[in-house]
Amino acid sequence: MNFPRSAKRQSAELCLSSTNLQTGSALALARCLWRSALMSIRLPEFSDIEDAAKRIAPWAVVTPLLESPALNARMGTRVLLKAEPFQRTGSFKFRGACNRILLIPAAERKRGVIAFSSGNHAQGVAAAAGLFDLPATIVMPADAPRTKIENTRGYGAKVVTYDRKREDREAIARKIQEETGATLIKPFDDPFIVAGQGTAGLEMAAQARAAGADIGRVFIPASGGGLASGTALAFGHISPATKVISVEPEAYESMALSLAKGARTMAPADKPSMADALQSPFSGEVPFAVAKQYLSGGVTVTDDALARAVSYAVRVLKIVVEPGGAAGLAALLSSNRRDKAETMGVVLSGGNADPETLADCCARFPQP
């Protein structure tokens, strides 16, 4: 969706004139400006996901699509699980980070990269940067899971911590970027990050088809929306009948609220969630623009549902999944809808949980 500059300007002028003359509505004006703004940003296309898949193929893992007889029996239908904990760094985030870093011009790579993240994007950027000998600085909240901070340092990145309640991570990253000239690798609001994350959906759709399955619904964790929108874009072209549904923790349901209102909407973010990876109060501008076209809806899950899903993954599926990564499974297990004719899909997006978190979830729900 790249428009020539004159077209963008003409569209904005026409939109503003029409709004002022016909309605005088502040809401209509806001929506009009939003539509005009979309014309000035580059949105990922399906071909970008295909290109990303080829670009990252030498380094990214083609993660398995798993099936559990026990889960099938519980849900009364076939369930297919895309297991991103088996991806390099333990989450899908490596996909987007690797794709974006490979697109940095050679002359700029020596300046390194910088990112801000609560953990999984941090590890993805650090690992990808290390593969290509780029210096990396990651701005992380001081209260991020210990495993994520340690792993990020282990991949060779410099970690700068901050207080998420009192400090602005983007301002910190911007200052460092100004001082070093490093390339900012955004966690989700970048078309090439979305395309990279969409490779998970590309794989999942192809793997399901190879398994003789047509997936009816896919539950997928969402925070800024990069994975959810990228996966929805992939399915929208490979399997248009599949409904892709975002899953967010309570108080951080920005994507669900935004889809319902038709405009980016801030979530309350008035209480912490055990899903540390999903605590973004806003969906990204690029992801939401894609989601509006391809996502079928959004649901929310409680911390109890997340903890139960983590316990179920460990005890029954024998997979380590972090709370945020288990959001899709939590939505599935909480769903009252049963249709034996509909194959269900779940993206398990990450497995970087502290042992203490896993133990607590398993203790709280010994029979999940």
- pLDDT digit string, tens, across residues 278-330: 999 999 999 999 999 999 999 999 999 999 999 999 999 999 999 999 999 99
% of the chain with per-residue pLDDT over 90: 84
Res 5: pLDDT: 33
> Do 27 and 51 fall within a single domain?
no
If one compares 33 and 210, the residue with the highest pLDDT of the two is 210
> Do 57 and 179 fall within a single domain?
no
> Do 82 and 119 fall within a single domain?
no
Q: For 179-221, how does the pLDDT look when each residue is reduced to its tens digit (9 = 90+)?
A: 999 999 999 999 999 999 999 999 999 999 999 999 999 999 9
Overall number of domains in the chain = 3
Q: Which of 164, 184, 204 is the last residue of a domain?
A: 184
Q: What is the identity of the amino acid at 355? A: P
> Do 20 and 62 fall within a single domain?
no
Instruction: Indicate the pLDDT class of residue 8, thresholds 50, 70 and 90.
Output: very low
Determine contact, residues 60/86, Cβ cutoff 8 Å: no
- Sign of CA pseudo-dihedral 285, 322, 86, 72: negative
> Do 345 and 270 fall within a single domain?
yes
Q: For 107-125, how does the pLDDT look when each residue is reduced to its tens digit (9 = 90+)?
A: 999 999 999 998 899 999 9
Res 240: pLDDT: 96
DSSP strands (E only) in the chain: 65-66, 79-83, 113-116, 136-141, 158-162, 183-184, 215-221, 243-249, 297-301, 343-348
> Do 17 and 61 fall within a single domain?
no
Determine contact, residues 199/95, Cβ cutoff 8 Å: yes
> Do 139 and 76 fall within a single domain?
no
Q: Is the pLDDT assigned to residue 4 strictly greater than 70?
A: no
> Do 168 and 249 fall within a single domain?
no
Instruction: Find the range with the poorest average confidence among 15-24, 141-150, 322-331, 336-345.
Output: 15-24
Q: Which of 142, 168, 184 is the last residue of a domain?
A: 184
> Do 106 and 86 fall within a single domain?
no
Instruction: Find the range with the poorest average confidence among 6-10, 173-177, 235-239, 290-294.
Output: 6-10
CATH code, 173: 3.40.50.1100
Residue with token string 């983590």: 310
Q: Which of 184, 207, 240 is the last residue of a domain?
A: 184
pTM for the full predicted model: 0.87
Res 40: pLDDT: 67
> Do 135 and 198 fall within a single domain?
no
> Do 336 and 201 fall within a single domain?
yes
Provide, for the chain, the percentages of residues in helix, strand and coil under a 3-state DSSP scheme, each rounded to the nearest 5: 50, 15, 35
Q: Is the pLDDT assigned to residue 268 strictly greater than 90?
A: yes
Q: For 49-80, how does the pLDDT look when each residue is reduced to its tens digit (9 = 90+)?
A: 999 999 999 999 999 999 999 999 999 999 99
Domain that holds residue 344: 46-90+191-364
Residue 127's alpha-carbon distances to 52, 154, 180, in angstroms, are: 17, 9, 20
> Do 123 and 249 fall within a single domain?
no
Res 145: pLDDT: 87
Question: CA 356, 120, 105: angle at the middle one, nearest 5?
Answer: 160
Q: Is the pLDDT assigned to residue 81 strictly greater than 50?
A: yes
